[in-house]
Structure 1
Amino acid sequence: MPEQPISFQNQGQTLFGMIHIPSGPGPFPAVLLFHGFTADRNEHHFLLVKAARALMAAGFVALRFDFRGSGESEGDFSQVTIEGEISDGLTARAWLQAHPAVDAARVGVCGISVGGAVAACLAGRAQDVSALVLWAPVGDPARVFSQAGGGSGSGFAPTPVETGLDIGGLIVGQGMIADVMRVRPVDEARGHSGPVLVIHGTADQTVPPYNGEMYKEALGERCTLVWIEGADHTFSRTWWEQEVIQRSVAHFQAQLAA
């Protein structure tokens, strides 16, 4: 079957996902996909489903999964942290590398929003990620979260509660708040020695464009920063998402060629 539901364990909890496997003899290069904060392995307007299927059609194995506390995976959202998602990502990467259809030496990572920050941190720490693509990645978590919601009139605006913050009906716990203040994904991305593709919408109000610029400034010539004119945070027009996916597939093809 080209698309199969999967599960794996991390720190005593079960994570659920979907693996997409091309037809024909392997092993294949692979891409690990990270969803954003408050999202799941499908992402808004099924962005990660479309990306995974495009990657599969281009000859890649793709794995998208729910971080603990998100989607169908075990855990409570109030316990989600950036460090916890990095741990999930490392475990998912090891699981993917061990899959018989995958060439373990050719596994790239792609993340959106906070998932982009997680991907940047993972690549910097692992130091052997074969290819890295970041979509609208958070570069300054403290600043982004402090500006979330665009003011008190938004339903997404943070509201203090006893256990942390209520953001759009979800409780963001103290662990996440602490990580937001401490984790510096742009600095961690410097540990990744290969080329990085960053794609950002010019009209992104959730993770404003200065975040993409931070990665470019830090990584210099190793970073290709692509602007999607007029695009919002999740590239929610068909022509925006198509450009994002096509550019990303091309980057992985260039970096993960045999």
Structure 2
Amino acid sequence: MLKRLALSAALLAAVAGFARAEDVTDKLKTSAAEVLARPAADYVESRVEIKRGDATIVGTLTLPKGAEKPPVVLLLHGFTGSRDELPIEGTKEGVFSRTAHILAARGLASLRIDFTGSGESSGKWEDMTPQGEIVDALAAFDWLKTQTNIDPAKIHVLGWSLGGLVAAHVAAERPVVTATLWAPASNALYNFSHFLGSEAVEKAIASADPDAVIEIKLPWGATTKLKARFFQSLVTVDPVAAISHYSGPLLVIVGTKDTVVTPQPFAGESFLAYHDGPEGLMVLPTDHAFDAFTGPQTVDLMAAASLAFIEGK
């Protein structure tokens, strides 16, 4: 407990000195309303498979009907998620499938993928690491560069939570046009120590065998199993450092009720403090799941705001 409090205090002290990021919340709310008011066009979806060595990454490519070589957004899901993401109450869609449909209905294609070990992709969940997800995302980006039904010069990236960490690394390593991070993991070791308990994480890191399978309890009561390698890898990824190597437009959207990636909005601001380029911060009174358990309103707002940002509105 003392270690967790010390780390939290250190994080707060570090962000206290940051220049405050430009808050574009009101501007993007207005732009999002304009986006959602546009007539919605039809779209078509197809299942795709992307090879990465012996692995197979499964994704859904969503294309606006009748659009010739549209821009495309690479959507990267979060921890324990899959490409459609968390089901939204009152709909038959997940957070990312609904986002993809909102984008496509207004002219933007998207590719949402299952990271290896998740969803329909090959591999075992217990072998997952942030580094493996970064490699998956880079493979998906490179696949998009070869496609003739989208504009390979206009690839954007959007990631949620751990997918936001991955998106920051993709932006550092590939020529993405814009990067949008939804509640992104900013300090993986701290975030997972807070999320899963510092004692459990420290015990897993101390394991002498990186292939040891460790059962952990998730905050909502479920359990999952990951190898010690996952926990040991948390100290070797740094999305905030990665974003410092990206100078394109950056949007970070965070919720003040987020109890998973905390403290907010400071965790989100840390990305902007180290990013040198056009940027904005959108702060909403929402949780880490964007109120998906109560309905689609917040997700729709975030999807439309992200589209407006991508379009430069």
Distance of 1:223 and 1:180 partners within structure 2: 26
| Matched positions, count | 249
**1:235 maps to amino acid:** F
Cα gap change, 1:29 to 1:184, in 2 (>3 Å): same
Kept after mapping to 1: 8 A contact 2:248/2:277: no
Distance in structure 1 (CA, Å) of the matches to 2:53 and 2:215: 25
1:200 counterpart = 2:248:
no
1:145 aligns with 2:192: yes
> 1: CA distance between counterparts of 2:278 and 2:197?
33
Alignment of 1:1-258 (within 5 A): 2-45=44-87, 46-126=94-174, 128-149=175-196, 162-168=212-218, 169-208=223-262, 209=264, 210-219=266-275, 222-229=278-285, 231-236=286-291, 237-254=295-312
Q: 1:79 offset after TM fit, Å? A: 0.8
The amino acid that maps onto 1:176 is: F
Distance 2:85 2:56 in 1: 20
SS state at 1:44 partner? coil
Q: Indicate the RMSD between aligned Cα atoms, in angstroms.
A: 2.0
Q: Which runs of 5+ in 2 are unaligned?
A: 1-42, 88-93
Question: Is the 8 Å Cα contact of residues 109 and 150 (structure 2) preserved in structure 1?
Answer: yes
CA contact (8 A) 1:200 1:226 kept: yes
Shift of 1:251: 1.0
Identity %, equivalent residues: 32
Q: Give the whole-Å Cα distance in 2 for the aligned partners of 1:167 and 1:65.
A: 26
Shift of 1:83: 1.0
What do residues 29-88 of structure 1 show as CA deviations (whole Å, max 9, x unaligned)?
110000001000011120000110111111111100100001111111111111111110
Using structure 1 for the length normalisation, give the TM-score: 0.90
TM-score, scaled relative to structure 2: 0.75
Q: Counterpart of 1:206 in 2: which secondary structure?
A: coil
AA at the equivalent of 2:195? A
* Distance of 1:83 and 1:106 partners within structure 2: 25
Runs of 4+ in structure 1 displaced over 6 angstroms? none
- Please give the alpha-carbon distance, in whole angstroms, between the structure 2 residues aligned to 1:83 and 1:60: 28
Q: CA deviation at 1:252?
A: 1.3
Report the CA distance shift for 1:180/1:165 in structure 2 as closer, same or farther (over 3 A). farther
Higher relative contact order (CA 8 A, sep 6+): 2
CA contact (8 A) 1:107 1:129 kept: yes
Question: 1:151 Cα shift?
Answer: 8.7
Greater alpha carbon shift after TM alignment, 238-247 vs 26-35: 238-247
Residues 94 and 221 of structure 1, relative CA distance in 2, 3 Å threshold: closer
Letter paired with 1:163: V
How far off is 1:95 after superposition?
A: 1.2
Distance 1:250 1:206 in 2: 27
Q: Alpha-carbon deviations, 1:129-175, whole Å to 9, x = none?
A: 111100000111110011114699xxxx8686952352432212222
Deviation at 1:214, TM superposition (A): 1.1
Q: Specify the SS of the correspondent of 1:178.
A: helix
- Tell me if structure 2 keeps the 8 A contact 1:30–1:103: yes
